[in-house]
Amino acid sequence: MIVFIVKVSIALVIFYAFYHAFLAKESMFSFNRFFLLFAIFFSLTVPFLSVPVGFQIKGNVFSEPLSATLKEAEGQPEITFTQPASVKGEMETSPQSQTISPINWTTILVGIYLLGMILFLTRFILQFVHLMKLIRNNLTLKEKDCTYVLLPHKTLPFTFLHFLFVEKDSFQDNLIEKEILFHELAHIRQKHSWDILLMESLRIIFWFNPLFLLYKKAIQLNHEFLADAAVNSTFQDKPFYQWLLFNKISGHKADMSISSPFNFSSTKRRLIMMGKASSSLKINLLKTISVVMTGFLMVFLSSSRPLDSPQFQSSNDFEQILARAFKDGNPYEVDINKLDLHALRSAYLGMNEDERYTGTEFPFFDALAFEKLVALQQAYPEIKTSIVYEKSPDKKEIKEDVFEQWKNTKNISLTIDDIEIEVAELNNYQPEDFAMFTVRETEKGAFLKKASYNVSLMTQEYFHGKYYKSRKKIELIQAEYPNAEKVQVTYGKKYIETADGKTSKISPENYEASIFHQLRVIDPGVLIVEFPKLINQDESKSFSIIIRSRDRRSISIMKLPTI
């Protein structure tokens, strides 16, 4: 979102600067109206446009550079033999009291934005309701080009959509100059109210961006130029109209920002523009420059992807990069050698918080961890590294006779998709509706008493959502070495929520960076031979590795220090 706002603002500033410096001084009012509206439309859409080549403002432009390469540890790292254990139970570290700030700045900023939008929307609604009341509560006169609204109080004419608001007595006594009425009719015929409504809508959405107010004022002033030009073209009495304009506007201000009043400000500018005449050569030159400028902005601000260096911005790009690195036929193991790490990091930094925590897990983008991961990738083919994700369980088929037995058994409880229901509800299902089931004994049988069981079922749709649509989580980081030995590191949680609701860090400092560093520098064969004795190691400054032998018959579990 921040990248979008920055790109839009840059485009709006450049267009407005060009308009204010050159176009606003020329009598090319119809083109200027088109230019201003096009500038807004183009600026809002250019971040989503795509051209073959270009440059991008990325979310990581202001990110910290990678830290300098740390000095490699001298000699072999200390290790400690521990008792063999299962892969799942390997991560045991001491909690550290690092509490994350409870302030949610995202929520605060969203709240401020919504409050501002509500205030601007309320202002717009009040003005709109006021105009509707004027139309409903006063006499109206429908003509060919407009509907006159006759107001009882003294006012200069103003328009909104096809309504022309005038003072009742002056209108009925023909005291309103025909040039003034024609000026307001020009607003209606040229549909200027729609431009203003568009700008008011954008100001409600982008109330925090003052550029939209500048554009609205520029558009309204250009409306006046257009209406003045229509009057002078019809009546051919420019001096009288200039005198009329000066005397009628003096001391008056417009009441509502969504109407087109005759007394719009900048009288001096309007009088100057009436005497302005631009050459066709100059007009054509400025139009050409406008087109060229638009082309450059499209190249520099679009979601362009250079042919030789692809850029990525969305969660889809992030997932696609990872998908290309999965091993053939195995959607649960990423081959680090196949990854475009820099493109993956660029895509990750361009994602918002929701996308980062709902997509495939890959939290290795802080400066030090990323640096060590790149170095480990460069160690290929001597070291072949991969990341293994947790697999979904296999589906279980329910036999027809078993399903019927469940329906006719009284001593069972039933849950479907983690919701407890009556057994009779099974009559609404068929065995093939379910992808998985588990049966467990809840109460043991006794003399003259049957055992009780709980049957837990999972529908196909629920199974798919839980295991296929849900986030893929990392299970192992593993590396294979020339001696065919394999080292595995169980990837554990970095944070836990304590009883008091706070979040504490439980993994060692520089956890991911240490894993990638040690996988690159260790020799597992030498470790097994040279370090047979137990060495005390601070759990908060170490992590566990599993070394599997070539024949897979032996396994060693050790501790390595963090960096």
* Tally of helices (H runs) and strands (E runs) in the chain: 18, 17
| DSSP assignment string, 17-78 | HHHHHTGGGSS-HHHHHHHHHHHHHHHHHGGG---SS-----TTTTSPPPPPPPPPPSSPPP
Structure confidence at residue 560 (pLDDT): 83
Structure confidence at residue 504 (pLDDT): 59
Q: Report residue 503's pLDDT band, with 50, 70 and 90 as the boundaries.
A: low
Averaged over 115-140, what is the pLDDT? Answer: 94
% residues pLDDT > 70 (the chain): 77
Structure confidence at residue 529 (pLDDT): 37
pLDDT tens track for 383-396? 999 999 988 788 88
Alpha helices in 138-175 (DSSP H): 168-172
Contact between 422 and 412 (Cβ < 8 Å): no
Is pLDDT at 258 greater than 90 in this prediction?
no
Token pair in block for residue 454: 């709980």
Structure confidence at residue 126 (pLDDT): 94
Please state the domain extents for the chain: 317-391+473-561, 400-467
Structure confidence at residue 74 (pLDDT): 37
Structure confidence at residue 151 (pLDDT): 93
Q: Report residue 448's pLDDT band, with 50, 70 and 90 as the boundaries.
A: low
Min mean pLDDT across 7-11, 268-272, 428-432, 444-448 is at 444-448
Structure confidence at residue 340 (pLDDT): 92
Is pLDDT at 298 greater than 70 in this prediction?
yes
pLDDT tens track for 330-360? 888 999 999 999 989 988 888 887 788 888 8
Is pLDDT at 378 greater than 70 in this prediction?
yes
Averaged over 138-162, what is the pLDDT? Answer: 92
Q: How far apart are CA 183 and CA 264, in angstroms?
A: 12
Structure confidence at residue 307 (pLDDT): 39
Averaged over 284-308, what is the pLDDT? Answer: 80
Structure confidence at residue 257 (pLDDT): 62
Q: Report residue 96's pLDDT band, with 50, 70 and 90 as the boundaries.
A: very low
Averaged over 208-218, what is the pLDDT? Answer: 94
- In sequence order, which residues have a C-beta less than 8 Å from that of residue 247 and are 6 or more positions away? none
**Tally of CB atoms within 10 A around 195:** 20
Averaged over 536-554, what is the pLDDT? Answer: 71
Averaged over 472-495, what is the pLDDT? Answer: 84
Is pLDDT at 293 greater than 70 in this prediction?
yes
Is pLDDT at 446 greater than 60 in this prediction?
yes
Averaged over 157-162, what is the pLDDT? Answer: 92
Min mean pLDDT across 35-44, 45-54, 98-107, 346-355 is at 98-107
- What's the mean pLDDT when you consider all of the chain? 80
Determine which helix (DSSP H) or strand (DSSP E) holds 384, and give its type and residue range.
Answer: strand 384-389
Q: Report residue 561's pLDDT band, with 50, 70 and 90 as the boundaries.
A: confident
Q: Report residue 562's pLDDT band, with 50, 70 and 90 as the boundaries.
A: confident
Q: Report residue 142's pLDDT band, with 50, 70 and 90 as the boundaries.
A: very high
Structure confidence at residue 86 (pLDDT): 37
Min mean pLDDT across 23-37, 88-102, 149-163, 170-184 is at 88-102
Is pLDDT at 52 greater than 80 in this prediction?
no
Sheet holding 434-443, edge to edge: 419-421, 412-416, 452-459, 434-443
Token pair in block for residue 152: 């009882």
